[in-house]
Every structure is written in C-alpha cells, then in structure tokens.
Amino acid sequence: MAEEIVAALESARQSPDIGACVLTGHGDVFCLGGDYRSAGPTNAGRLAFARAFIDMAQAMARLGKPLVAAINGNAHAGGFSVVVACDLAVMAADATLGLPEAARGLFPFLALAIVKDALPKKVLFDIVYRARLMDAAEARALHLVNEIVPRGAVLERAIAIAEQAGAHNPDILRLGRDLHYNMRGMAPAQALEESRFALAAALAAEDEAR
C-alpha cells in the first residue's frame, strides 16, 4: 500500500492538472498503522517494511502541492504520523488519534520521526507511555487538525479545502511548500539562505506569469 501511495503521489506531483491532493481512508478507519507482522521474521523483511514507510513519508514531503488529510476515522500509530505529515487536516468528530504501540509491546519508532516536532514533549510521552488516545477536541487544541466536522462530511470538506489551497499559482506553492519541508533540521542561517533563493525563484516565476 505504501508503494502504491508513493506512485499515486508521484503521478500527482508531475501532473499539471492536479492542484492539490486529499488523503483519506476506506470505510470507518483512516489508518491504524502498518502491518509490520506481514514483513516476516527476517531483518531484511523488517527493514524493507520500514523503507516503504520512509519512502511514503518522503513522497508526501516532496509532493509540491497542498496535501489535506480527510480523517474519516481513527488514526493510530503510523496512521497518526500520516495525519501529521499532511499539510492540513479535517477530522471526524468521533475519531481519535494516538500512538498506542506500547500497549502492544512496541514503541512508535517510525512514527516518532514525524510526530516529534508536532507535539510538546510532555504530551508526546504522555500519549506514548499511557497509550492514550486523543479525541478530536484535544487534537484541534494541539493544532494537529484544522477543522472538526461530522464523519459524513469529512471528505467533502477536505476536498473543498484542497480546492481552495490549490487554486493559487502552482509554481509559487511548490517553491514555498518545498522550502518548508527542506528547512526541517536546518540551522537558522542555512534556512534563511534557502529562503533567499526561494524568494528569488518565486519572484522570477511571478514575472514570467505576467
């Protein structure tokens, strides 16, 4: 599934007819994480499973277009990290977010790389150690989601937000979004240098559009 998402995102990235993307789940669940047991008992299989997750996260980051999560149901473990990896999120009022791996004898190793910067440390370890699930109100208060709507309205609202976000100059959006994801982990001085070149490229693109 991760490989198919990568292929879909790459196709969307290259298509000039697509201005934004919405990522949602099927049925009553958004995503409850990866089926790590299907990777088998070998280290090679487990590393390949992790590699697929990493490739998906990187494809989301390099999409170059607005990416909206339509959280149609519970988003736990790796599913929670997928929500965080999206630019915007609309959440069903009765859905929950969380990292409950510890209750199953694991730790959110892969998800941690994505969610660690989205939550205060005390909140992060509270939901990890206690395997506690957050409701929509808490998720909104922590700025993990933008809007809360009834379950039946999630996808429609997410599409509306994506259409609005993707209606702007696609070259400018790509430069700005790429800048955001490229700056993660950079020192302030390096981030400012990256911003300088992105601004110059954006102004040049604006000149061409006139």
Enumerate the active-site residues.
101
Q: Which of 137, 2, 175 is nearest to 81 (CA)?
A: 2
**What is the pairing mode between strands 133-135 and 147-149?**
unpaired
Q: How far apart, in Å, do the first and last CA atoms of the chain sit?
A: 42
State the Cα–Cα distance between residues 127 and 142, nearest whole angstrom. 13
Q: How many CB atoms lie within 10 A of CB 104?
A: 10
Element (H, E) at 88: strand 88-92
State the Cα–Cα distance between residues 66 and 2, nearest whole angstrom. 19
- State the sign of the Cα–Cα–Cα–Cα dihedral 146, 152, 158, 163: negative
- Residue 18 sits at φ, ψ, to 5 deg, of -110, 120
Contact 146, 161 (CB under 8 A): yes
- State the sign of the Cα–Cα–Cα–Cα dihedral 26, 27, 32, 37: negative
